[in-house]
Structure 1
């Protein structure tokens, strides 16, 4: 990654590692910007807000720095009546407030400690995902922590939401799923002690209405889940803490290719013993696209993390673990099928050609059969996305793609925004940030979802770089409690 370090000053020095220098370097200001330069035209029938979460450390780190460290900052683009307002705000977590009071970083990072350490406390930074629920945005963290409720328009932090949590671990997974038809939010938690996992449901009023323990064979480090109309799909991955490192108070992962990846299908409000486990070929899985039911089968489409191979074709466990830890992604669009009647399983690669990850889709289809997803082409060397791609999740076909230059561009996670009176699943727009490192230009780009290959219909230029981050979402006006009338 050294080729990118010189592009932007390293605000805290190079001794903290490359994941906080160059284009990864944080920005120091919060802004509200409107009347920005626009090339093309912002659509009149585009209404709602695009939110993207990511790490943006405010103070110099203690020790080395990892992508998953750094105070959470949300960047937003609010569209209405052919205009856009950009905002960025730090999430005022408990850790952010402690740092603010001290005037320095008082926490240790992922590479220096473990989640529950008392000697070297780790900050629950809520910097990983953001999703709309119960009228507000919910920000979450990679290692499962307290969710934070954020106003999606002003980006002010409303409050922490411990009432979403219960049970052994008292954390909420980085990735949760919201069924927009019922308003239910499904989540899981994972922890090093038995039973190692729990599963919960929060209703549309923000009340925890279901929570059960899920027993796993051991410590696991899963990341995402799936939901359908009637079921949730929990993951048991062959990735876990290195025992010696854990005893020494360090976060280090192991990948064990002798273990399958397992998916547990549980009724949405099912008891612990109602879960059914299905085994598939050994791999890791960061992100699910969508899941649904077809007759007796539960179908899940995801980005399968392809294990690294040795020269003899066997899995290189050590290199795979390192790739997972440093987000050097090599992923393929994959389909998993689980027959609840017969117990039969089937998996197949939908598209072997493209290394794609960080999927977005029409979120109103969460849990039901969907055809399209919008993903980013991944630079396998680092956390950098080089282009936008529309893929058919039924056939695996790459239907369209776009890049302003794969050697120079840094894209964000794309999300689909339906037109105000959408007539089809892909009748709308795709929103994405793009930093062009060749001409040092930051844009917010709007694409016609049915015509990605023609390029952006609107390019909104921002005066400052948006650092690389993690996940995004789209919230429609009907999902926003504070949407201005």
Structure 2
């Protein structure tokens, strides 16, 4: 019998609470004018546990659910489906949750533990003709773009002909010039290990690089950066430990004394050529963009936290009294100096004092100096729940230093903003910004469409759902008809 979700966890209720229904809607009602030039599908991924978990729940540990908005000829259709992973299938057949969060063996049924299943709940990308649902501990999970059902010879897992070496990040990078996909995977030698895989797949879906980098300690590495010549892997002191997990303590915890260690691996070299830069303890879930300057410096724009949010100290106590907030910083690295000075080659510049998350940009300009970026803003704590408010979108003009935004109602929440160019050859930033907007008073969601560089005038079109899209993580746009 399926048990009710616990009511004492803020990530299992309200905006974060899971939905228990899969739906299809062919013609969403639209306010405003949906641009006729928009033709494609916005795929959004996020945690949506099918059943109450065993043991403590963490927002990052719910089963993946894909929300797909297809736009064509001014019409918007919607479909949502759980990602039918091996774990999801076993629990669905049993009618109850059988696992702890992050596969914690202390709480997980041995049958589920033996599956070593993905939960595929963090991102969804399109590459080499494959729609891939991603998390960061397993291989990608391949889905049919129209039905959202698993496809492929391995029952959904995309292993690139068994050439994939270890886990796969939720944030691969795509070279817009070559079509190459660059990615990494932490805990590459087994659960909670310090090794990191470094791999590439070409535009045809062939693995072209597979190496192992030895890190200084086991760490949760959510995202990274790639420039024309460098793969940049930051190892922050959000550590992992099997000993802690088995002892009932946090599997992932904040240990600032270990500091930050950033690996720079040449794209045309090997991990043997790695250069390391050390920095004070901080945490970054997401960079915005990353590129090289004309004189060879490496620039990485990041949403930086002083303390990793959502995770405690090793003894389980909170790492801060108030929830940490991220702000936009520019990190500039100069690797040309003498090796004994490399620990001091990082320059940090704060670009904005406003808090936010989920940075995005016009990804046709990935690895290039760029002008336009967007975030979800929110630096107010909701007094009812203590949850960070995410109630506005912000557009940055990084050349002029100006920023503009638009706020929704006090109970509304924006999801990650996704940029869609007006055409393949449009100028940088010329297009639309799409975001899933939760309407707090009505307990339902809209798909909001904005002119990307004119957020202040508000959404030019809203496609209305009668149901709710829960708080999620990441998504991407796949152009064209289904």
Regarding TM over 0.5, the answer is yes
**Map of 1:126 onto structure 2:** 120
Q: CA deviation at 1:303?
A: 0.6
Distance 1:193 1:469, change over 3 A: closer
Classify the secondary structure of the residue corresponding to 1:160. coil
**Map of 1:4 onto structure 2:** none
Matched residue count: 459
More moved, 223-232 vs 13-22? 13-22
Q: Tell me the distance in 2 between the aligned counterparts of 1:333 and 1:279.
A: 20
Do structure 1's residue 83 and structure 2's residue 75 form an aligned pair? yes
More moved, 380-389 vs 357-366? 380-389
**Map of 2:364 onto structure 1:** 364
Classify the secondary structure of the residue corresponding to 1:330. coil
Q: Tell me the distance in 1 between the aligned counterparts of 2:388 and 2:269.
A: 37
- Residues 212-231 of structure 1: matches in 2 within 5 Å? 212-231=211-230
Q: Tell me the distance in 1 between the aligned counterparts of 2:203 and 2:308.
A: 42
**Map of 2:180 onto structure 1:** 184
1:278-332 CA-to-partner distances (Å, cap 9, x unmatched) read 22232111111111111311111111112389xxxxxx977998469x9944101
Do structure 1's residue 14 and structure 2's residue 6 form an aligned pair? yes
Distance 1:116 1:218, change over 3 A: farther
Q: Tell me the distance in 2 between the aligned counterparts of 1:278 and 1:387.
A: 35
**Map of 2:327 onto structure 1:** 332
Classify the secondary structure of the residue corresponding to 2:258. coil
More moved, 415-424 vs 442-451? 415-424
Q: Tell me the distance in 1 between the aligned counterparts of 2:91 and 2:148.
A: 20
Classify the secondary structure of the residue corresponding to 2:220. coil
Q: Give me the TM-score of the superposition, normalised by structure 2.
A: 0.86
Distance 1:356 1:318, change over 3 A: farther
Q: CA deviation at 1:72?
A: 0.5
**Map of 1:271 onto structure 2:** 270
Is this contact kept in 2: 1:112–1:250, CA < 8 A? no
Distance 1:212 1:118, change over 3 A: farther
Do structure 1's residue 141 and structure 2's residue 138 form an aligned pair? no
Q: CA deviation at 1:127?
A: 0.2
- Residues 7-46 of structure 1: matches in 2 within 5 Å? 12-14=4-6, 17-46=9-38
**Map of 1:312 onto structure 2:** none
Distance 1:282 1:60, change over 3 A: closer
Q: Tell me the distance in 2 between the aligned counterparts of 1:171 and 1:250.
A: 24
Is this contact kept in 2: 1:412–1:434, CA < 8 A? yes
Classify the secondary structure of the residue corresponding to 1:101. helix
Classify the secondary structure of the residue corresponding to 2:90. helix
Do structure 1's residue 248 and structure 2's residue 243 form an aligned pair? no
Distance 1:442 1:207, change over 3 A: same
Q: Tell me the distance in 2 between the aligned counterparts of 1:85 and 1:399.
A: 32
Q: Tell me the distance in 1 between the aligned counterparts of 2:252 and 2:56.
A: 17
Classify the secondary structure of the residue corresponding to 1:355. strand
Is this contact kept in 1: 2:164–2:207, CA < 8 A? no
Distance 1:157 1:434, change over 3 A: same
**Map of 1:202 onto structure 2:** 201
CA RMSD in angstroms comes to 3.1
- Residues 140-159 of structure 1: matches in 2 within 5 Å? 140-142=134-136, 144-158=137-151, 159=156
**Map of 2:51 onto structure 1:** 59
Is this contact kept in 1: 2:335–2:345, CA < 8 A? no
More moved, 237-246 vs 94-103? 237-246
Do structure 1's residue 392 and structure 2's residue 397 form an aligned pair? yes
- Residues 244-323 of structure 1: matches in 2 within 5 Å? 244-248=243-247, 251-294=250-293, 295-307=295-307, 322=318
Q: CA deviation at 1:146?
A: 2.0
Q: CA deviation at 1:470?
A: 0.9
Distance 1:307 1:164, change over 3 A: farther
Q: CA deviation at 1:354?
A: 0.6
Distance 1:13 1:74, change over 3 A: closer
Distance 1:87 1:193, change over 3 A: closer
Q: Tell me the distance in 2 between the aligned counterparts of 1:366 and 1:115.
A: 41
Classify the secondary structure of the residue corresponding to 1:385. coil
1:73 to 52, 65, 68: 65
Q: Give me the TM-score of the superposition, normalised by structure 1.
A: 0.86
Q: CA deviation at 1:88?
A: 1.0
Do structure 1's residue 175 and structure 2's residue 175 form an aligned pair? no
Is this contact kept in 2: 1:332–1:349, CA < 8 A? no
1:115-135 CA-to-partner distances (Å, cap 9, x unmatched) read 999587375211011122112
1:116-175 CA-to-partner distances (Å, cap 9, x unmatched) read 995873752110111221123221114x2121112333322222112387687x211222
Q: CA deviation at 1:270?
A: 2.7
Is this contact kept in 2: 1:111–1:250, CA < 8 A? no
Q: Tell me the distance in 1 between the aligned counterparts of 2:93 and 2:111.
A: 20
More moved, 261-270 vs 377-386? 377-386
